[in-house]
């Protein structure tokens, strides 16, 4: 697999316009299954074709039970400077329901241990709206986050995917389905609570203290180019082309062993690009740049948007600030629905 990753890097080294990387992200799946020297060898390969910006953010996703002392000690000898820890909750009942391998004690100790080894730039994932939780438990999860001095939080409402054990438990009435009104309540409490403790709510699901916003995720939200290497990885050229690698590990390796890319490519239509810019931009504190939108699309498309957004502006669901179309934060929980109402069809 590592040889295949390196081969793909070589074959795609000219796809990015910029050779100066501001972000490198090891994530999706469990990258900590690799030894630190293997991670280091991948970074060394990246440096054959790209350079690291002086303030590059290099993130690795990790489960709490992966972050033992030996792993963290070895990690300090690499360029990795940011940890994204899949905490999910600081309560055992939540973690059991989510089928997580770690317990609440490991969730807390992994953060403290990472800080002891000098990792200050830490993001944790938290899930709200769980049927095994309630409003008081959610408040305690957030209190614990502040007590641990974590500078970045990514938080998502629990969603039920088909063909999962959780979906079956709900059908069998072993647990209750998530309650949307409770999720709404917990979302807005979290937003106000974290802002009161110095966080910026800069994207619907993301909160960061000044200087700790995710550079990696911000590239997605600002419609910048990115290159994804490995099975299932997605890429975007910053203009009109997206690609994604096949998910099957063996087929991925077989393709690369023959110097072939294991990817599919999609050319985005005008409608696709317009709808994506609305969907992504309206999820952020920056909103949608109307000047840029007007430059990129025909007059009739921009006139369509002006017509569709007018009533929502009058209702206060949308606002325009400094030529940027935004959803006021009090309506963020419904952002995807608001954005879809503006889509070209």
pLDDT of 236 reads 95
pLDDT of 253 reads 97
Structure tokens at 247: 């998910």
pLDDT (average), residues 23-46: 94
Cβ atoms of residues 80 and 39 within 8 Å = yes
Report the candidate in 304, 337, 296, 295 with the shortest Cα–Cα distance to residue 318: 337
Q: What's the whole-number average pLDDT of the chain?
A: 94
Report the candidate in 101, 100, 99 with the shortest Cα–Cα distance to residue 166: 99
pLDDT (average), residues 81-92: 96
Q: What is the pLDDT of residues 251-301, one digit of tens each?
A: 999 999 999 999 999 999 999 999 999 999 999 999 999 999 999 999 999
How many Å apart are CA 75 and CA 337, to the nearest integer? 42
Domain with CATH 3.30.750.200 in the chain: 18-218
How many Å apart are CA 151 and CA 126, to the nearest integer? 13
pLDDT band at 160 (very low <50, low <70, confident <90, very high): confident
Report the candidate in 14, 23, 25, 15 with the shortest Cα–Cα distance to residue 230: 25
Structure tokens at 250: 């063996």
Domain with CATH 1.10.10 in the chain: 270-340
pLDDT of 335 reads 93
Which CATH number applies to 270-340? 1.10.10
Q: What percent of the chain has pLDDT over 90?
A: 85
In terms of pLDDT, which residue wins out, 160 or 328? Answer: 328
Q: Rg (Cα) of the chain, in Å, rounded? A: 21
User: Hey, what CATH class is 18-218 in?
Assistant: alpha beta
pLDDT (average), residues 305-317: 96
pLDDT (average), residues 230-255: 95
pLDDT (average), residues 163-171: 73
In terms of pLDDT, which residue wins out, 120 or 220? Answer: 120
């Amino acid at each position: 697999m590592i040889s295949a990753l390196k081969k793909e890097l070589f074959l795609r080294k000219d796809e990015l316009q910029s050779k100066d990387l501001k972000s490198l992200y090891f994530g999706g799946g469990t990258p900590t299954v690799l030894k630190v020297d293997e991670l280091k060898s991948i970074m060394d390969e990246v440096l054959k074709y790209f350079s690291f910006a002086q303030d590059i953010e290099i993130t690795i996703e990790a489960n709490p039970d992966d972050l033992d002392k030996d792993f963290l000690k070895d990690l300090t000898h690499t360029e990795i400077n940011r940890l994204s820890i899949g905490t999910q909750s600081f309560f055992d009942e939540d973690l059991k329901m989510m089928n997580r391998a770690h317990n609440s004690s490991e969730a807390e100790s992994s953060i403290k241990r990472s800080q002891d080894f000098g990792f200050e730039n830490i993001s944790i994932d938290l899930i709200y709206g769980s049927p095994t939780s309630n409003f008081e438990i959610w408040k305690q999860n957030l209190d614990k986050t502040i007590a641990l001095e974590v500078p970045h939080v990514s938080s998502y409402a629990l969603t039920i995917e088909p063909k999962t054990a959780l979906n079956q438990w709900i059908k069998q009435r072993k647990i209750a389905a998530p309650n949307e009104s409770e999720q709404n309540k917990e979302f807005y409490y979290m937003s106000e609570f974290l802002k009161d403790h110095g966080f910026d709510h800069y994207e619907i699901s993301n909160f960061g203290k000044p200087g700790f916003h995710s550079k990696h995720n911000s590239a997605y939200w600002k419609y910048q180019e990115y290159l994804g290497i490995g099975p299932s990885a997605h890429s975007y050229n910053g203009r009109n082309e997206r690609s994604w690698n096949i998910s099957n590990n063996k087929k991925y390796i077989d393709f690369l062993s023959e110097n072939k890319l294991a990817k599919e490519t999609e050319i985005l239509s005008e409608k696709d690009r317009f709808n994506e810019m609305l969907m992504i931009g309206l999820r952020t504190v920056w909103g949608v740049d109307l000047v840029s939108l007007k430059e990129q699309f025909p007059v009739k498309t921009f006139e369509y948007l002006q017509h569709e957004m007018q009533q929502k502006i009058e209702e206060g669901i949308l606002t325009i600030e400094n030529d940027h179309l935004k959803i006021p934060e009090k309506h963020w929980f419904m952002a995807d629905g608001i954005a879809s109402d503006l889509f070209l069809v």
